[in-house]
Amino acid sequence: MSSLSISVNGGTIQVVQLGTLSAAVNQQITQAVSASAASASAAAASASSASSTVGTALAALLPQNLLEWAYSSAFRLVSATRDANEAIVTASIVWPDGGTGTFTTDTASTAFPGAIDAWHATYVNGNVTHTVTQPAVTRDSNGAVTAQPAITIT
Question: What is the C-alpha to C-alpha distance for residues 101 and 104, in angstroms, rounded to an integer?
Answer: 10
Give residue-wise pLDDT tens across range 28-62. 777 776 777 677 677 767 776 665 666 566 567 89
User: Taking the model in full, what pTM does it have?
Assistant: 0.63
| Contact in structure between 117 and 104 (CB atoms under 8 Å) | no
Question: What is the C-alpha to C-alpha distance for residues 126 and 138, in angstroms, rounded to an integer?
Answer: 35
Give residue-wise pLDDT tens across range 102-112. 999 999 999 99
| Cα R_g (the chain), whole angstroms | 30
Residue spans of the domains in the chain: they are 2-47, 73-153
Question: Residue 43: its pLDDT value, please?
Answer: 73
Q: CA dihedral defined by 2, 8, 14, 15, rounded to 10 degrees?
A: 20
Give residue-wise pLDDT tens across range 67-122. 999 999 999 999 999 999 999 999 999 999 999 999 999 999 999 999 999 999 99
Bridge partners of residue 103, in order along the sequence:
91, 121
